[in-house]
């Protein structure tokens, strides 16, 4: 299975690149933001609670999003793999994702982080706010709070994957196609089968 974590601040282009990646690699897109907005549209209790936090640009509690990912993984057992978009956003979420994927005999293949500076993010999100109907995209102070939450609570998730040698960063400013090409290169490197060195193999036999 190919499981990609697409990482980066709000407005970095994760949603746009996810759409291209799911088509190219035949993966299932799991965006916790989309799953939460679906709950809001359905008017569920969870959705009502989440909406208050989302509108303020704050994170929804870990157990809520972890529960949603757990259910989605159970529902999509036949998937060739997943793109995680907007999840994990905290280290406990990253730890839970490892545990959940292990229950399905799989793991995160790699994380790709899209890097974009704050002023460009604010510009992009205000532009998106004109058509997205998202209250959190329409107010500059809320956008800046989301970027701040990313810097203080989410950015450390990169270190979690760096420790596992799965972290890759890319400049998120540039042509969409060019960024897509760079993401594919990273993913394809991780997909290449590991060729065991004859020395390591001999050592293993000796042991
Ligand atoms: P963006 O990346 O533009 O912020 P998302 O759709 O990923 O958009 O997230 C919108 C909001 O949904 C977040 O600001 C947060 O309130 C909530 N949210 C989404 N994913 C998570 C998550 N993994 N953990 C906590 N809150 C989340």
Among residues 119, 95, 118, 120, the alpha carbon closest in space to that of 108 is found at 95
pTM across the whole model: 0.91
Measured from the CB, is residue 84 less than 6 Å from ligand 1? no
Q: Looking at residue 201, what is its pLDDT? A: 46
Chain-wide mean pLDDT for the chain? 93
Q: Looking at residue 171, what is its pLDDT? A: 98
Residues 182, 185, 188, CA angle at the centre, nearest 5°?
A: 150
Among residues 7, 61, 45, the alpha carbon closest in space to that of 172 is found at 7
Q: Can you tell me the mean pLDDT for 56-69? A: 97
Mean pLDDT is lowest, of 52-66, 154-168, 184-198, for 184-198
If you search the block for the tokens 């990646």, which residue do you land on? 21
Measured from the CB, is residue 12 less than 6 Å from ligand 1? no
* Domain 2-27+79-206: top CATH class: alpha beta
Closest-lying ligand 1 atom to the alpha carbon of residue 31: 7
Q: Looking at residue 190, what is its pLDDT? A: 83
Domain chopping of the chain, boundaries: 2-27+79-206
Contact 107, 98 (CB under 8 A): yes
- Write out pLDDT tens, residues 79-133: 999 999 999 999 999 999 999 999 999 999 999 999 999 999 999 999 999 999 8
Q: Looking at residue 194, what is its pLDDT? A: 57
Measured from the CB, is residue 5 less than 6 Å from ligand 1? no
Question: Which pLDDT band holds residue 202 (cuts at 50, 70, 90)?
Answer: very low
Residue nearest to atom 16 of ligand 1 (CA): 54
Q: Looking at residue 111, what is its pLDDT? A: 98
Name the percent of the chain lying above pLDDT 70.
Answer: 92
Query: CA neighbours within 13 Å on the CB side: how many for 35?
Result: 20
Say how many Å lie between the CA of residue 59 and the centre of ligand 1: 6
Say how many Å lie between the CA of residue 103 and the centre of ligand 1: 25
């Amino acid at each position: 299975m190919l499981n990609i974590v697409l990482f980066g601040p709000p407005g970095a282009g994760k949603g746009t690149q996810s759409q291209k990646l799911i088509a190219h690699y035949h993966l299932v897109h799991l965006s916790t933001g989309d799953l939460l907005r679906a709950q809001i549209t359905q008017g569920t209790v969870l959705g009502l609670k989440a909406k208050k936090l989302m509108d303020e640009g704050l994170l929804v509690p870990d157990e809520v999003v972890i529960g949603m990912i757990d259910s989605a993984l159970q529902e999509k057992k036949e998937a060739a793999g997943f793109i995680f978009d907007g999840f994990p956003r905290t280290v406990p979420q990253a730890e839970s994702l490892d545990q959940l994927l292990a229950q399905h005999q799989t793991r995160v293949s790699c994380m790709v982080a899209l890097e974009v500076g704050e002023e460009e993010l604010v510009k992009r999100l205000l532009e998106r706010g004109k058509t997205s109907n998202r209250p959190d995209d329409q107010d500059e102070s809320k956008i800046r709070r989301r970027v701040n939450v990313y810097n203080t609570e989410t950015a450390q998730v990169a270190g979690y994957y760096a420790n596992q040698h799965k972290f890759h960063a890319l400049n998120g400013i540039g042509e969409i196609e060019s960024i897509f090409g760079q993401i594919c290169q990273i993913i394809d490197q991780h997909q290449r089968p590991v060729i065991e060195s004859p020395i390591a193999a001999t050592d293993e036999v000796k042991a």
